[in-house]
Structure 1
Amino acid sequence: MSVVYSALTSLINRISDEFRKSFLFTLIFTILEFIENQWVNSYFKRFYPSENFLARLNRNNILKNYIFHPLIVLFLFALFLLLSMNRPSESLIITLIIAFGGFFIGSTLLPRYFLNGDMERIIQFERRDIYSIGFCLILVSIVFFFISIASVGGIPLLKPSIRYLLKPMLTMPVFLIIPGTCLIAGAYLKDFQDEKITRSQARFRFLFLLVIDCAFLLLLGYRTPLLAAFLIIIIIGFYGNIVSLWEVVVGALLGIGAIIGIGYFRSLGEMTITSSTSPIYSLQSRADFTLHVLNLLDFLGGNFGLTHGHMLASSIPGSDLGPRMMVGRLIAWRSEVTVTPTLIGQMVVDFGKFGAFTGMLALGFILGIGFKIMQKTKNYFYIGIYSLILTYTILGIETGILDIQVLIYFAIAVFIYLANVARWRN
């Protein structure tokens, strides 16, 4: 495996170096370096609140140490369900208790028996390799962004109706900007940890990465990937001591505001609501519909499931129906629509209440081990990979973890974590 990794990173490093030495990228980086210097030495920086702004937050040890603990998934899942204007069925309540219990055991109790003591044997990754992989992922993303908008003849943000003409095979590579951002942000964090750049420089580079993500993802009219980029930058920055706790809290409020705002104005544009409707109605209606879907899936799944793994397998490219289309077929006999099944929807319909418990147990264990490694090592790479899988778990509360690229991110994380566990046990 190390031979394959070395060959792959060698090729990617060569590609990254060639692009970065080209005239276009030399010019871009020169301009960015100039802007960064102006930012770092700006007179107006002194008017920005200091780290001690809202000092009461910093004295809250729970927020300071556990704000992005895996259990935040259960908190947000419960909050999302509470947004609904209806209540879950009695059977679904039992399923949720079982699923939440499995996640709690996996994320909080099981990790106590692994990776205790010295962490010197943790697998290390070269900063250059990580940066080059992230750089190439962003390049691929930008190329497919322009191909996508050319294929529909416009910008979906300005013409919402053409968003539904976007082809998944073209837009999926655009979303590679998310892991690309994660890896490059991690590389900048490494530079900050090694004192090669200052905190102000690291903050500027994080902000620039976020601006790049917003510029491309917002123009496509997608909210979820935009929120993913936002969350990843905040989590990496927080655990890397680049972003303050008060900025996390304010950033979370801004993120929620952005979700509400984009959803509201897109709904107005599509004439699904009127201007007199509450701005949070779009969130409430989504939560209400999603809960209704989950009630139906729980009824179909029962104790041991209905589809027995076929829904998860339908995530593989080339399947007749995607997982969300399969949900539409199951609950409404309509395969031409996509329906989000929530984080446990696929687990329930595939393997019932038993599947909800084991699936959430496994997911909780992955996040729990990732959190433990990240906290004990403070390693830039493990901060980045934890932020990536936690982000997609949070977003999966509504959408489910069903996209093939997201499943690949989790598979890579699981492989790396298990490799570390195996090395520790030996």
Structure 2
Amino acid sequence: MSVIYSTLASLANRISDEFHNSFLFTTIFSILGFVENQWVNSYFKRFYPSENFLSFLNNNIILKKHIFNPLIVLFVFALFLLLSINPPSTSLVITLIIAFVGFFIGSAVISRIFLNKPFDKIVKFDRRDIYSIGFILFVISVVFFFVSIASVGGIPLLKPSIRYLLKPAFTMPVFLIIPATCLICSAYLNDFQMEKITRSRVRFRFLLLLIINCAILLLLGYRTPLLASFLIIIIMGFYGNIVSLWEVVISAIIGIGAIIGIGYFRSLGEMTITSSTNPFHTLQSRADFTLHVLNLLDFIGGTFGQTHGHLLISSIPGSDLGPRMMVGKLIAWRTEVTVTPTLIGQMVVDFGKVGVFVEMCLLGFILGIGFKIMQKTKNYFYIGLYSLILTYTILGVETGILDIQVLLYFAIAIFIYLTNIVKIDF
């Protein structure tokens, strides 16, 4: 594996250098450098609230130390369930309890067994490699953004009806902007930790990348990837001492507002609601529908499951039906629609209540190990990696972890974490 990584990193570095030395990118980075200097030296910065703004938040140990602990997944899941208008069935309540217990055991109990020795053998990654890989992924995503726009002949945000004409073959590469941003921000975080750039400069670069992400993903009309970019920046910024606790709390409020707002205006554009409808209705109805789907999947899956891994395997490109289309077929025999099954929907259909416990325990263990490594090493790469998988787990509370690229991120994280466990504990 080290040979494969070295080859890919070397190739990425060469391609990245060629881009950076080109006239186009030299001009772009010169302009960005000028804007950054104006930002850093701006007179108006002094009007921005200081680190001690809303200082009472720092007195809350849970918020200050554990706001992005893996157990936040259970908190978000519980909040999502409370949004539903109708209660879950008795069988589903049992399944949910099993899921919550499994996740807690994996993240808070089993993860404590490992990585209790000195971290002198931890796998380390070169900053240049990480930046180059992230930069190339970023360029690819921007290119495919323009290809996607051209393929439908308009901007989906302005014409919601053409959003359904977007081709997955073009939009999937656009979503690479999320791991790309994660890797680039990791490199900038390393520069900050090594005192090569100031806190003001790294904050500007984080903000700039977030703005570019928001512009691209919002214009395509996608809400979940937009929230992923937002969450990754916030989590990385918090653990990298770039973002203050009060900024995290305010960002969470803004994020919730964005979820409600985008969903509301999209529903207005698609004429599924009227302007007199309560904006919270779209969020509640979505949660209620998703919980109803989960009720049906729980009934189908039973104790030992029904599809025995086929739903997860359907994530692989080339499958007759994608995982969310397969869910649509299972509950309504409609293969032309995609249905979100929540975090445990795939688990219960594939392997039943037994599978829910095992998979949630494994998921909790992955996040627990990632959190432990990040806290002990403060390493820029592991902050980025944990931020990436925690973000998709939180968003997966509604959508499920079923996209092939997201499964790939988890596979990479598992490989890296297990490699560290073997090197450190054995």
TM-score by length of 1: 1.00
Whole-angstrom CA distance in 2 between matches of 1:38 and 1:150: 35
Whole-angstrom CA distance in 1 between matches of 2:136 and 2:317: 23
Would the aligned equivalents of 2:190 and 2:380 in 1 still touch at CA under 8 Å?
Answer: yes
Whole-angstrom CA distance in 2 between matches of 1:119 and 1:278: 52
Whole-angstrom CA distance in 2 between matches of 1:16 and 1:113: 41
Q: CA RMSD in A?
A: 0.5
Whole-angstrom CA distance in 1 between matches of 2:40 and 2:143: 31
Whole-angstrom CA distance in 1 between matches of 2:150 and 2:213: 19
Residue in 2 aligned with 1:312?
312
Residue in 1 aligned with 2:110?
110
- CA shift at 1:2, angstroms? 1.0
What does the per-residue CA deviation read over 1:324-383, in whole Å, with 9 as the maximum and x for residues that have no partner? 011000100111110000000000000000011001000000000000000000000000
- CA shift at 1:195, angstroms? 0.2
- CA shift at 1:101, angstroms? 0.2
- The count of aligned residue pairs is 426
Whole-angstrom CA distance in 1 between matches of 2:306 and 2:169: 29
Residue in 2 aligned with 1:78?
78
Whole-angstrom CA distance in 2 between matches of 1:255 and 1:24: 34
- Match runs of 1:200-239 below 5 Å: 200-239=200-239
- CA shift at 1:77, angstroms? 0.3
**Structure 1 outlier segments of 4+, above 2 Å:** none
Would the aligned equivalents of 2:117 and 2:425 in 1 still touch at CA under 8 Å?
Answer: no
Whole-angstrom CA distance in 1 between matches of 2:40 and 2:59: 28
Whole-angstrom CA distance in 2 between matches of 1:406 and 1:319: 17
Aligned-pair identity in percent equals 79
Asked if residue 5 in structure 1 is aligned to residue 2 in structure 2, the reply is no
- Match runs of 1:40-59 below 5 Å: 40-59=40-59
Whole-angstrom CA distance in 1 between matches of 2:259 and 2:39: 29
- Match runs of 1:92-111 below 5 Å: 92-111=92-111
Whole-angstrom CA distance in 2 between matches of 1:402 and 1:17: 35
- Match runs of 1:143-158 below 5 Å: 143-158=143-158
Residue in 1 aligned with 2:297?
297
Q: For structure 1, which runs of at least 5 residues remain unmatched after alignment?
A: none
- CA shift at 1:120, angstroms? 1.4
- Match runs of 1:267-416 below 5 Å: 267-416=267-416
- CA shift at 1:60, angstroms? 1.0
Would the aligned equivalents of 2:117 and 2:424 in 1 still touch at CA under 8 Å?
Answer: no
Residue in 1 aligned with 2:262?
262
What does the per-residue CA deviation read over 1:60-117, in whole Å, with 9 as the maximum and x for residues that have no partner? 1110110000000000001001000000000000000001000000000011110013
Whole-angstrom CA distance in 2 between matches of 1:269 and 1:8: 44
- CA shift at 1:4, angstroms? 1.1
What does the per-residue CA deviation read over 1:148-167, in whole Å, with 9 as the maximum and x for residues that have no partner? 11110000001100000001
Residue in 2 aligned with 1:184?
184
Asked if residue 66 in structure 1 is aligned to residue 66 in structure 2, the reply is yes
Would the aligned equivalents of 2:152 and 2:166 in 1 still touch at CA under 8 Å?
Answer: yes
